[in-house]
Amino acid sequence: MEATPNGIIMILHEGFTKIDPQKCIDAMPETWQKLHKETITVSYSEKIVLGDSQDLDFSQYALEHKRIYSEKILSVIEANKNFQIVYFGLVPIPLGIDFGHLFYNYEKIEIYQFHNQKKEWYQALTDQDIAKENQLVDPILPNIDQKGITNALVRLSISHKVNPEETTEVLPNSAEIDFGFVSPKEAIINSKEQLVEIGEGVKAIFDGLSNNRSGLEVIHLFASIPCGVAFLIGTKISPNIHPYIQTYQYKNTETPKYSKAILVKKKIETSRKITGEDRKKANNLREKASKELRVDIADFCERNKAFVSGRTWLWPLDLISIDEGIMNEPFWSELPAISKTGIENDQCSETPDVVENGFIRKGNRWHIDDYFFVALSQNEKISIDDNVRKAFRLFFFHEILHVKKHEMGNGKNENIGSFPKVLETADYQADVYAILNEYGLQHQRDSTGNKSKDFFRETIEIAIETMWCFDDQGYDLTQIQIRRLNRYLIWYWQLIRIEKSDGSLNEIVKILEEKPIIELSGLKIKVDNNNRSYFNLEQRQGKYLEMAVFVNNKVIRNGSASNFQIENLIDGVKKMDGNRILEELSRFYPSN
């Protein structure tokens, strides 16, 4: 061990089982055991069962440990810069690698291994001879000038042999690199120096593949390694040098035996920092969302049980009248009445949640991510109570249509983002469904004070700001899913159309009936591992940006050279500034 530090930051990474802090302390040098310790436990919302590890939602777990890193670990490290970071982990390999990647900037981290037979933590094994089986195999990399390599896989055999046949079944016709021990087995790493040697060996492989002239974008890593090695490998992945690292999870009873787990990103995205006051506000909003679901929405469903056929899902026709020719197409008329969705029986989780993609509905319970409530509490346009409650109703009305009519619940929405045009249409239908149900609810409460133009303008603005809250992570956007940008542009466009209308209910509903078709061109596009398409808001594909809209049976297109300053619009998107986006779109809108 090196010189005695001022203190210890002890990170206990729990997955398969709880980690006893005292056993970790007992494994340290005696001089370290007496030092002041900051202990941080990284655990997940659900216990990880070893036999089910291939079926885990790895992206959800990765989000959870990134939140813990951002909200707890970073501040402890910053406050104790002269403390030694010490890692103890018992998690699946992909989680160890991804979590380790968060520490790529920290060079001196002490890593302890867990001995499965002795049930103790160690760095050195004094009872094991250094024999042939402890020797590392020299990896053979493709020539740096070799072109045409589309895929590269690395087999890392430390605890067990990674079978080439099982990896090529998943990724055939790839450049293959083997690294590890001559005769792999559990508890084979017998010293801290050998652990370091493995880490540097893996880094050298990543470096060599990164420099290859084929320009590899992803390295596929198939590894049989202890959790400590997984964490170490994560710390060796440089976001500025290495491509994406695709990790895999092994399960002997499956065919193929390897399945994709976590794609370790080149860029580490930091999350917003949540203060105690932020948490208090978020909890308050969570309670309001729960009450809105249990009381106001349930009451609205009960009062409208009689209105269940044809266009009457819109609102009670004995209170409101629109022309017969409006919204008679099956696309609209066959939507279910809100009272037929079953949402009146739903509840909202009132405990803090970390949820990938912002929310999930399990059974009849909605789990909504803490960051959504924090972003909502900080949004000045929604901060007053009536607007917050309306935002929650619009959210629930929208999402219940996805679940009940679009059949996007119960796991059926997995990777739905890879079908952007389909989802764009479903989102628009659900947005209109939510807005019109909200109109009906408000009209039943006050049929005299619900001026159409004012109501729809204010409601759409609240709906848009609520959408932004799911994108707002506390910093400017650098990229955005194309279908999400289109959704924003569509609704800002509809705001302009409604503002220029005569304000009658008939005309506004006719405007909502027609989904605008808007497209942006010129931003660099990338496709992620789940086939979701993103605009890079900071890089251009061509010489200039351009936007086109199909409206009134005409195609309108315009670029940066016109009165329409498209760069200002992009900057508005980066900053999630609706006023700037609306201002530029208004310049683009045809005068007649």
Res 551 pLDDT > 90: no
Phi-psi region at 386: left, alpha or beta (left = phi > 0; alpha = psi -120 to 50): alpha
Give SS3 for 250.
strand
> Would the CA dihedral through 224, 229, 235, 236 be positive or negative?
negative
CA distance 205 to 159: 19
Please state, for a pLDDT cut of 70, what percent of the chain lies above it: 90
CA distance 592 to 341: 41
Three-state SS string across 422-461, please? HHHHHHHHHHHHHHHHHHHHHHHHCCCCCCHHHHHHHHHH
Instruction: Say what the pLDDT of residue 269 is.
Output: 62
Per the CB < 8 A criterion, the answer to whether 398 and 464 are in contact is no
Q: At what angle do helices 482-499 and 452-471 cross, to 10 degrees?
A: 160
Q: Taking residues 474-480, what's their average pLDDT?
A: 87
Q: At what angle do helices 420-445 and 482-499 cross, to 10 degrees?
A: 40
Question: Can you read off the two tokens belonging to residue 344?
Answer: 């009146």
Residues 386-398 have pLDDT tens digits of 999 999 999 999 9
Per the prediction, the chain carries an average pLDDT of 87
Instruction: Say what the pLDDT of residue 493 is.
Output: 96
Where exactly are the structural domains of the chain? Answer: 7-264, 276-475, 498-592
Q: Judging by DSSP bridges, how do beta strands 83-90 and 109-115 pair with one another?
A: parallel
CA distance 560 to 544: 7
Q: Judging by DSSP bridges, how do beta strands 347-348 and 365-368 pair with one another?
A: parallel
Residues 160-179 have pLDDT tens digits of 999 999 999 999 989 999 99
Q: CB burial class (10 A; 0-12, 13-18, 19+) of residue 517?
A: middle
Give SS3 for 115.
strand
pTM above the 0.85 mark? no
> Any idea which of 108-117, 136-145, 272-281, 574-583 has the lowest mean pLDDT?
272-281
